[in-house]
Amino acid sequence: MYSVHEICRERSRQFPKGFSHFIKRASMDFELTRQQKLARKIAREFAERELAPHAQQWDEEMTFPSEALKKMGPLGFMGISIPKQYEGAGLDGISYVLIIEELARCCASTAIIVSVHNSVGAYPIYALGNEQQKQKYLPDLCSGRKLGAFALTEPNAGSDPASLETMAEPCGDHFLLNGVKTFITSGSTCDTVIVMAATKREKKSRGITAFIVERGTPGFSVGAKENKLGIRASDTCELIFENCRIPAENVLGEVGAGLTAALGALTFGRVGVGAQALGVARCAMEECVRYSQERKQFGKPLASFQALQWMIADMATQIEAARMLIFKAAWLKDNGKPFAAEASMAKLYASETAMNTATKAVQIHGGYGCMKDYKVERCFRDAKVIEIYEGTSEIQRLIIARNTIK
């Protein structure tokens, strides 16, 4: 029987310089690469300069951050994981989550626009599209000249997307799209949207097809913009398709394989949403650290009260644990390994960490935490929304359970 002592002896023979050398070679690497650190630095500096000063007002007025988005194209934030040949930045998944976290720390709304655009608006075209589709759509999306969206949810199909009712009937060299999509991020501002529709309703989940739909296509219109609890600067709309003619060449991937494609895209998307939640949690904790040192009660700073110190200690611990889950999921993706359960764990844990952290952050700020002038009030509202989109916490638990109880 081979034991760990044998492994150790074998490695020691391989590396005769001594134990410390062996430990160095065998240890797990938690260090970011130079490229990853640089991506984080660029995103942090950009977010602090271009997002933080405006986030409060954008939230209050539900202002879509168009100018900031325009500046992100040249930085490579709009095609983070797509190769350079399509004008993407060609970065790995770890760099991707670092960038989203930094954007979310300053403006969670901007972070979700970028996350949706990258992970479910553009990436499926790279992963599933034919060369003609990649050439046609990716350079504009990756450079930020155009914005992407993703439409799966319908009024009667949310957590259960296989029950969607939007139909795409084949009609010569095109499909006729009819139906309504709801709660679509960047719905009124996007240039292209990947729409899931049933091409064979009787086949249920295996009868759903993905289409690339361009803004301006006759029969495609935008309904009312939602007035939301949080993530208010991102536009969330209803999309209406009435006899909308989609050329057959705009089918993304295979006919009938759309739901698999959608769920695959959402898996990657969930890691990004986890990173978004992490950014919100960090913002809330940093505000608490600062505020609790400034604010005095009973003649002492709040930070001197152990009850509040423990709240901050829990925040720091959960944030670190969330970060590890997010990195693990991104690492698995980068290494071509299955990561569906890990993506769900990352999204679930990070979004619940954001909610817990923001709730405690409001508590630490007392009455001021309920006022719109304080960032923690916005974090609290944003965190609640993050627990819902790209799959609710219950749906993440369902996926994790399915992968655990086999």
Q: Which residues are catalytic?
A: 390
CA distance 90 to 184: 27
Whether 113 contacts 258, CB under 8 Å: no
The one among 150, 175, 327, 380 contacting ligand FAD by CB under 6 A = 150
The one among 12, 56, 260, 392 contacting ligand FAD by CB under 6 A = 392
Neighbouring C-beta atoms of residue 75, cutoff 10 Å: 16
Kindly list the distances between the CA atom of residue 166 and the CA atoms of 55, 160, 201, 207, 392, in Å, as whole numbers in the listed order: 35, 14, 9, 12, 22
Nearer to ligand FAD among residue 198 and residue 312 (C-beta)? 198
The one-letter code for the residue type at 215 is R
The one among 111, 212, 303, 395 contacting ligand FAD by CB under 6 A = 395
Nearer to ligand FAD among residue 77 and residue 389 (C-beta)? 389
Measured from the CB of residue 102, what is the shortest distance to ligand FAD in angstroms? 21
Whether 96 contacts 104, CB under 8 Å: no
Whether 375 contacts 283, CB under 8 Å: yes
| 56 in contact with ligand FAD (CB under 6 A) | no
Which among 81-89, 144-152, 274-282, 304-312 is the span making contact with ligand FAD, rule CB under 6 A? Answer: 144-152
Nearer to ligand FAD among residue 92 and residue 154 (C-beta)? 154
Measured from the CB of residue 250, what is the shortest distance to ligand FAD in angstroms? 18
Which among 60-68, 146-154, 240-248, 363-371 is the span making contact with ligand FAD, rule CB under 6 A? Answer: 146-154
Nearer to ligand FAD among residue 132 and residue 227 (C-beta)? 227
CA distance 119 to 266: 8
| 198 in contact with ligand FAD (CB under 6 A) | no
β-strands 148-151, 192-198: how paired? Answer: parallel
Whether the CA torsion 164, 267, 114, 362 is positive or negative: it is positive
Helix (H) or strand (E) holding 87: none
Positions 222 through 251 that interact with ligand FAD (CB under 6 A):
228, 231, 236
Positions 287 through 316 that interact with ligand FAD (CB under 6 A):
none
Measured from the CB of residue 167, what is the shortest distance to ligand FAD in angstroms? 17
Measured from the CB of residue 391, what is the shortest distance to ligand FAD in angstroms? 6
CA distance 329 to 348: 12
Cα–Cα–Cα angle for 104, 106, 110, nearest 5°? 55
CA distance 298 to 220: 61
Query: Measured in Å, how far apart are the chain's first and last C-alpha atoms?
Result: 28
| Nearest residue to the partner ligand FAD, using Cβ | 158
SS3 content of the chain, % helix, strand, coil (to 5): 60, 15, 25
Binding-site residue total for ligand FAD (CB under 6 A)?
Answer: 22
Take residue 75 and report the two structure tokens written for it. Answer: 């930085």
| 389 in contact with ligand FAD (CB under 6 A) | yes
Nearer to ligand FAD among residue 39 and residue 237 (C-beta)? 237
Nearer to ligand FAD among residue 369 and residue 391 (C-beta)? 391
Strand partners, 244: 177
The one among 80, 104, 116, 319 contacting ligand FAD by CB under 6 A = 116
Measured from the CB of residue 340, what is the shortest distance to ligand FAD in angstroms? 16
Interacting residue ranges for ligand FAD, rule: CB under 6 A: 116, 150-153, 158-159, 183-185, 228, 231, 236, 385, 388-392, 394-395, 398
